[in-house]
Amino acid sequence: MRLLKVHGSSNTFYLFEALYDDDANYVPLTKWLCNPSNEGGADGLLLVLPSENADAKMRVLNADGSEASMCGNGLRCVARYVCEKLGVEEAVIETMRANLHVKKAQPIFEELPTYAVEISPVSFELKALPMCYNDLSQIRHQVLTKFAPDILFSAVTVPNPHLVGIVEASYIKDSAHQEQLASYLNENNEFCPDGVNVSYVYPMSEHEIFVRTYERGVGFTNACGTAMTASALIANLEHYVNVPLVTVYNPGGFVQCHVQTYENQYELSLIGNATIIGYYEVEPIANSFVFSNCFLTKEQVQYEKCDIFARNKLGQYI
CB 189 within 8 A of CB 146: no
Q: CA of 66: how far to CAs of 91, 121, 184, in Å?
A: 27, 21, 18
Q: CA of 8: how far to CAs of 71, 82, 124, 270, 271, in Å?
A: 10, 15, 26, 11, 10
Q: Which of 85, 87, 83 is nearest to 115 (CA)?
A: 83
- Residue type present at position 159: P
- SS3 (DSSP) at 63: coil
Q: What pairs with residue 5 in β-bridges?
A: 14, 278
DSSP 137-167: S---SEE-TTT-SS-EEEEEESSSEEEEEE-
**Catalytic-residue membership of 83:** no
Q: CA of 122: how far to CAs of 49, 57, 118, in Å?
A: 24, 20, 11
Catalytic residue (one of 71, 77, 83, 192) = 71
Can you say whether residue 217 is alpha, beta or left, with left for phi > 0 and alpha for psi between -120 and 50 degrees? Answer: left
**Catalytic-residue membership of 77:** no
Q: CA of 115: how far to CAs of 31, 87, 191, in Å?
A: 27, 14, 35
Catalytic residue (one of 77, 83, 192, 224) = 224
Active-site positions read 71, 224
